[in-house]
């Protein structure tokens, strides 16, 4: 009797193992998907490259598919700042967009080191069904100045490398790629027939029936005089004072990351012929700040710079900053921007009685790449259990800051991230517990200090300290 039941259990286990092995096998085999149509639009108008990929994916396999893989050459993955995907349902007029989850895939690398990202579909794609997804991604530092050095009177030319065919682990029935350049000044581009140039657009394709992992390198050489504004490091100190103010101090190390400037610099020529002299340089930058900023300042290591202009309106404030000298290729400027905000605009109370800061994460300067950002949120003394909610992955750590009158110090939440683009300027929250009694700590300390001084003074007056025999 016992022998029989254990036999049954054994065969059940074997059947279960077999089934789970089969299902994991069918999950990992992805070649049963096919891309019916693919359209890629690459925007090279700025130094931040934005790509939109529209795919119509069909499941030709025998089982339902829950993920779609995206492949990238290893050189692009290094410069990938952001990747997002969405599913599109409905026809043109009544289109609805459902955001989808995209994660780096733990799939082994593909041919030539191709790296994968996995898009999770909303509903498993059944056999024979198809789905339209739109993937958008952003590449930084992928335009290579060529020539590497230019003089003040030369325009800036850059190289861009990619593939005429879309890299994919699936076969693609029909595809086209459209590349937008900043102007019609294109020195050269690799031709892969059919390919054409129409004003500021280069069109590659349509190409039919391409096998998986098809790749045809292309090289574009074109003029791009946009300011290649890169902040090597941005440290933002965001200090909450429960006395009603949020103080923000931002420390910048800004560099012009385009073609290096060579030869002398003539300010006279720069000012008298601005359309041809130093065309790729930048004289001023615009920082978008929250609407009700006050006490705005902008200084470098010499002192306050008064040539900044602040325009405030109901919905936003714009600070136009002008470094002491125009930035040419390879030149650097370090400066600090500071401002205050009314606390009620950014600090709220959650349903469970916690307080939380709701503030922007990224760099407020337009079209700027930040190599490394460090956001430090300095909480009031006595705050407990700080916890940050950020819409993307960041490196988290904690510090304690002491200012005058602090006894136990202020908890500091440190959030670091590399390769930041303007699209990262979303809101993040820092939740914490705070007992209102701590509001009284500083006044109490002041009162006790004065009281002590008062007692000391009294004692001094009443004390006889003359030396007598």
Ligand X SMILES: *[C@@H]1O[C@H](CO)[C@@H](O)[C@H](O)[C@H]1NC(C)=O
List interacting residues with ligand X (CB under 6 A): 295, 297, 299, 303-304, 348, 358, 427, 429
Between 427 and 440, CB nearer to ligand X: 427
As a whole number of Å, the end-to-end CA separation of the chain is: 112
Min separation Cβ 229 and ligand X, Å: 24
| Dist CA 383 CA 403 (whole Å) | 15
H or E stretch including 301?
Answer: none
Report d(CA 256, CA 297) in Å as an integer.
23
Q: How many angstroms separate the Cα of 159 from the Cα of each of 61, 96, 156, 222, 453?
A: 41, 37, 10, 7, 71
CB of 336 to ligand X, least distance (A): 10
Specify the residue, 110 or 340, whose C-beta has the smaller distance to ligand X: 340
Element at 347 (helix H, strand E): strand 347-349
C-beta of 360: minimal distance to ligand X in Å? 9
**Rounded Cα gap, residues 147 and 166, in angstroms:** 28
21 phi, psi to nearest 5 deg: -65, -45
The least CB distance from residue 313 to ligand X, in Å, is 16
Q: How far is the CB of 311 from ligand X (least distance, A)?
A: 17
Min dist CB 411 to ligand X, Å, is 20
- Closest separation between CB of residue 317 and ligand X, Å? 15
Question: In terms of CB distance, is 166 or 319 closer to ligand X?
Answer: 319
Q: Which is nearer to ligand X, 7 or 358 (CB)?
A: 358
Nearest-angstrom CA–CA distance, 177 and 190: 13
Opening angle at CA 100, ends 37 and 373, nearest 5? 115
Minimum CB separation of residue 297 from ligand X in Å reads 4
Distance from C-alpha of 329 to C-alpha of 257, rounded to nearest angstrom:
6
Nearer to ligand X, 56 or 299 (CB): 299
Whichever of 6 and 426 has its CB closer to ligand X, that residue is 426
Radius of gyration of the chain (CA): 30
Cis peptide bond N-terminal to 75, omega within 30: no
Instruction: Between 392 and 454, name the residue whose CB sits nearer to ligand X.
Output: 392
Please state the closest distance from residue 209 (CB atom) to ligand X, in A: 47
Residue with token string 């925007």: 43
Is the Cβ of residue 431 or residue 438 nearer to ligand X in the bound state? 431
Q: Which is nearer to ligand X, 272 or 301 (CB)?
A: 301
Residue with tokens 């581009």: 189
Say which residue the tokens 């955001």 belong to. Answer: 99
By residue count, the chain amounts to 469
Contacts of 290 (CB under 8 A, 6+ apart): 316, 317, 341, 345, 346, 360
């Amino acid at each position: 009797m016992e022998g029989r039941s254990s036999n049954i259990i054994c065969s059940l286990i074997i059947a279960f193992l077999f089934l789970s092995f089969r299902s994991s096998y069918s999950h990992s085999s992805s070649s049963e998907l096919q891309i019916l149509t693919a359209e890629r639009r690459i925007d090279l108008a700025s130094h931040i490259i934005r790509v939109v990929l529209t795919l119509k994916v069909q499941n030709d396999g025998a089982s339902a598919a829950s993920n779609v893989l995206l492949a990238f050459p290893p050189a692009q993955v290094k410069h990938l700042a952001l990747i997002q995907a969405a599913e599109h349902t409905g026809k043109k007029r009544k289109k609805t967009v459902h955001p989808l989850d995209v994660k780096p895939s733990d799939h082994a690398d593909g041919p030539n080191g191709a790296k994968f990202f996995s898009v999770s579909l909303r509903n498993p794609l059944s056999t024979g069904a198809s789905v339209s997804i739109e993937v958008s991604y952003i590449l930084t530092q992928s335009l290579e100045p060529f020539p590497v050095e230019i003089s003040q009177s030369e325009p800036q030319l850059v190289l861009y490398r990619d593939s005429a065919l879309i890299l994919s682990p699936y076969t693609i029935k029909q595809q086209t790629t459209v590349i937008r350049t900043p102007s019609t000044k294109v020195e050269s581009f690799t031709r892969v027939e059919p390919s054409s140039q129409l004003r500021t657009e280069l069109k590659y394709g349509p190409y039919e029936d391409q096998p998986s992992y098809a790749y045809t390198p292309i090289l574009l050489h074109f003029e791009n005089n946009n300011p290649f504004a890169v902040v090597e490091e941005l440290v933002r100190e965001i200090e909450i004072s429960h006395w009603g103010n949020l103080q923000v101090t931002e420390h910048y190390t800004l560099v012009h990351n385009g073609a290096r400037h060579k030869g002398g610099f003539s300010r006279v020529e720069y000012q008298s012929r601005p359309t041809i002299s130093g065309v790729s340089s930048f004289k001023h930058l615009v920082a978008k700040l929250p609407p009700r900023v006050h006490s705005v300042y902008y200084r470098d290591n010499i002192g306050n710079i008064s040539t900044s202009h602040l325009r405030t309106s109901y919905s936003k404030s714009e600070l136009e900053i002008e470094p002491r000298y125009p930035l040419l290729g390879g030149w650097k400027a370090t400066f600090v921007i500071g401002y205050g905000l009314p606390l009620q605009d950014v600090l709220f109370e959650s349903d469970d009685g916690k307080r939380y800061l709701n503030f922007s994460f990224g760099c407020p300067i337009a079209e700027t790449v930040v190599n490394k950002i460090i956001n430090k949120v300095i909480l009031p003394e006595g705050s407990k259990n700080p916890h940050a909610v950020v819409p993307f992955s960041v490196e988290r750590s904690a510090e304690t800051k002491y200012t005058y009158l602090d006894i136990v110090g202020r908890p500091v939440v440190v959030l670091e991230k590399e390769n930041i683009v303007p699209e990262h300027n979303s809101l993040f929250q820092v939740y914490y517990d705070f007992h209102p009694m701590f509001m009284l700590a500083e006044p109490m300390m002041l009162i006790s200090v004065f009281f002590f001084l008062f007692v000391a003074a009294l004692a001094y007056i009443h004390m006889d300290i003359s030396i007598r025999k």
